Structure 1
Amino acid sequence: MPNSVLLKDLLILTKDGEWGKGESSDDTEEMFVIRGTDFANVRYGDLSEVPIRFISKQIAERKRLEPNDILIETAGGTKDQPTGRTVFLKPRLFERSKRPITCASFSRFLRVDTTVAVPEYVFWYLQFLYHTGEIEQHQVQHTGIARFQYTKFAQSIEIPLPPLPEQKAIAHILGTLDDKIELNREMNQTLEAMARAIFKSWFVDFDPVRAKMEGRQPAGMDAATAELFPSEFEESALGMIPKGWRVGTLGDLIDIKHGYAFKGEFFRTEPPGDILLTPGNFAVGGGFKDDKFKYYLGEVPEDFVLDEGDLLVTMTDLSKAGDTLGYPAIIPVPRRNRYLHNQRLGKIIIKRDALISKLHLYYLLRLDAYRNEVLASATGTTVKHTSPDRIKAFEFPFADNGISLKFEQVISSLICRISLNDEQSRLLASIRDTLLPKLLSGEIRVKEAKKLVETVA
């Protein structure tokens, strides 16, 4: 049996976070401040959503994070996602950062004594304790906020420590799977940026039209596709648009079907059951999120079972800013569970003979111009609402010559690759989460796990 050591005795330093302020002064330092809500992105090396704040230089020096630190959330959380989440700060996160990094209040950093334990191994053990509910047992409600009693936890929880080489091997196996998920994520960001760039070039900036006006062949486009674009502009209610195009509304081309009011008594936060989609499954900026599912065990009208490739928009948002209001998501390949069309989500139905593609609509509904109109017409204060009629009133330039269908054909390979990467990442995450308790308990040996990971990754 490996030795077990109290968490507090594994650390050479631990401090709580610092929020800082928005204005700079002579005695402040500009830093990234990681919040609990940033953990998911930071885990995969993404600092793009992390706020930049100004910290007192004296405090900044004491709370400057380093590679291989572990962050642990000490307050916040929800019923479905308890506080006490952790994130491991990989060295490459700091290689990408142009500023020093700290963590916000309601979290703290743990710096492991590397002569005793491998930091990433300690992180994975904390992940194991979170998933088994052990960390949740140290959570209390205080003035309406869930707080994690870190000090009591660190003084009572013992972490089994096999020899350092074995700790390193276990961390490497789990980290390899995580790295592959990160690689897929980065690849998908690149593919997504390419698809959005093509859409913007064709339907917002009208680059092929400008090229033809200048006597050039549109870049990256075959002659048949270039033929679909005119070589001049004309005036319209929306300004200059390609000649022969028209200004229409979404309502000319689509209908929006309301979801079903499923009965709350059959809701569940854990499987089994069908997956009941909510606005929480829509990403800010558009896209599908699969990290927070609700499940439903009641009877389901077949008309409200969604198919792969269905396009939905969210018509309610619980945030004051309406973070996801009106944004679209495409239903991915169904898992063992069906996806259900819940109320306050609108299913886009393209009208018969409308020459517009689903992917054209998907990227159109992510434009700032559309987003601004949805927010401007939204109702509600605490909860924001929109409606099918408000969404369908959006005007945009459109051509009835099949160019929209050609766009989908051009980018379909990119979208297919994104979908395949997502499916692979889900498989890798499932394998990682299955191996985690088995490796830590010794149920599966390192050599066996290593062979499995080499085969999969």
Structure 2
Amino acid sequence: MSFDQEWTEKKLADFSSMKYGKMPDKSKVSESGYPIFTGYKVSGYYPDFMYEEPQLIVVARGVGGTGDVKLSPPYSYITNLSIIVELDEKIVDKYFLYYSLSNKNLRVLDSGSAQSQITINDLKNYKVNIPTLEEQKEIALLLKSLDDKIELNNAINKNLEEMAQALFKRWFVDFEFPNEHGEPYKSSGGEFEECELGLIPKGWKVGRATDIFDVQSGGTPKTSTSEYWNGEIPFFTPKDCSNFFYVINTEKTITEDGLNNCNSKLYKTDTVFITARGTVGKVALAGRDMAMNQSCYALVAKNGYTQKYVFHQTQQLINVLRKNASGAVFDAITVSTFQNLKTILPDTELIRKFDGLVNELYSLMLEKINEIQNLQHIRDTLLPKLMSGEIRVPVEKGNSVPDLPMVAESSAIYQP
């Protein structure tokens, strides 16, 4: 086990070449194919890819993501909103440089023109500190093991979400819930009745969304009162919606005093939040107790219904609202929207059976999301210390870095 020589400072131009991507033919952009990558997000799909390499370091030039550093999706088409960094990997490890640049604020390279932008010339002269290639690889392996675990948990959660959605659709949209003999209701000749919403299983009713849930409001403490903010209570706003069902972290937090001095109550885990203004119609589940601002509503199950059912049914209702808008701007939801929105009311015993089947899926989702948060905290704590050399990773031939390292103390040596 050994530490190699001290780190050296180099310009990016010393070990890389750079080029801009190019814009794809707009007539070929579609909803399937290879991802079109702008440097900070996927903006569509294309029948051809630009690079066969699994991943490239890409720096966003501007337009919403100036200075963002990402690894491009495998086999992607990279647009001219990006600077592609191609390395001499005999000098610098790709993943080490990715983490090194991710730890820096490249927005300082912005040319200062009317439109935010970073150029290749700006980036070529940017300096980074690097250790030997062997130590780079050990550092990168350590950080990548954390990101790989995060990615795996994300994939597991997507699968769990798809399973829950598929079961809801089969039972409450396709009406293939199990009958008294455990057979699919519709396919086994189950009885239906005509109603204003079409054919529904016999015994089910038509009501309004507010027969299923109460619609409750939120509020914001005075922003000028510092004692109300930066406390322990998550404060949900439309910005906190994610690509997953559950939200556990919020951009803002409030104190107990803040909660007591606003129009929001403390909503319990599994409360359904729906965004009502701004970005309208996004639906999320509270992953822990949290307050909520006035741009959202909290939906609380009643009359024998459950939060899981409310969550899935609300997603269906939002699809109905969008469809009924018929091209009109879908720019707000009010309490009366739900009071006037008609929906099917299934038998509540069936709702309880549905909950019994999906509860374990949801518990696992929440467990994985909390694990992701812990892994991200470990990674974000280690990253600046590793990239400054404050924590050194010894190079030991034949050894690999453990999958899940613990956070090292300041000025420590990480011992694999």
Candidates 211, 233, 236, aligned match of 2:195: 236
Aligned residue number for residue 14 of structure 1:
18
Of 300-309 and 436-445, more deviation after overlay is shown by: 300-309
Aligned residue number for residue 321 of structure 1:
none
Of 100-109 and 405-414, more deviation after overlay is shown by: 100-109
Query: TM-score scaled to structure 2, two decimals?
Result: 0.82
Distance 1:378 1:276 in 2: 34
Displacement after TM superposition at 1:54 (Å): 6.9
Contact 1:86 1:127 in 2 (8 A): yes
| Cα gap change, 1:327 to 1:392, in 2 (>3 Å) | farther
Structure 1 residue 34 and structure 2 residue 37: aligned? Answer: yes
Matched residue type, 1:350: A
Aligned residue number for residue 272 of structure 2:
311
Structure 1 residue 411 and structure 2 residue 358: aligned? Answer: yes
Aligned residue number for residue 208 of structure 2:
249
Distance 2:328 2:359 in 1: 38
Contact 1:267 1:294 in 2 (8 A): no
Structure with more of its chain in helix, by fraction: 1
| Cα gap change, 1:445 to 1:126, in 2 (>3 Å) | same
Distance 1:195 1:106 in 2: 38
Displacement after TM superposition at 1:37 (Å): 4.5
Matched residue type, 1:313: I
Aligned residue number for residue 97 of structure 1:
none
Displacement after TM superposition at 1:314 (Å): 0.7
Distance 1:36 1:290 in 2: 27
| Cα gap change, 1:245 to 1:187, in 2 (>3 Å) | same
Candidates 290, 295, 300, aligned match of 1:349: 300
Structure 1 residue 287 and structure 2 residue 245: aligned? Answer: yes
CA deviations over 1:239-286 (Å, ceiling 9, x no partner) = 111111111111223221121143343599x966754322122246x7
Displacement after TM superposition at 1:375 (Å): 6.5
Distance 2:326 2:203 in 1: 33
Query: Where in structure 1 are there 5+ consecutive unaligned residues?
Result: 39-48, 95-99, 220-225, 319-324
Q: How many residues align?
A: 389
Structure 1 residue 146 and structure 2 residue 116: aligned? Answer: yes
Distance 1:341 1:376 in 2: 28
Distance 1:142 1:288 in 2: 40
Contact 2:300 2:307 in 1 (8 A): no
| Cα gap change, 1:180 to 1:350, in 2 (>3 Å) | same
| Cα gap change, 1:287 to 1:236, in 2 (>3 Å) | same
Cα RMSD of the aligned pairs, angstroms, is 3.4
Distance 1:9 1:116 in 2: 9
Write out aligned runs for 1:165-184 (5 A).
165-184=134-153
Displacement after TM superposition at 1:308 (Å): 2.2
Query: TM-score scaled to structure 1, two decimals?
Result: 0.75
Matched residue type, 1:158: K
% same residue: 23
Query: Where in structure 2 are there 5+ consecutive unaligned residues?
Result: 1-5, 408-416
CA deviations over 1:278-307 (Å, ceiling 9, x no partner) = 2122246x7345677134579423453333
Distance 1:106 1:289 in 2: 31
| Cα gap change, 1:146 to 1:447, in 2 (>3 Å) | same
Aligned residue number for residue 68 of structure 2:
85
Aligned residue number for residue 3 of structure 1:
8
Matched residue type, 1:138: L
2:10 alignment partner, SS class: strand
Write out aligned runs for 1:58-97 (5 A).
64=51, 66-77=53-64, 83-89=66-72, 93-94=73-74
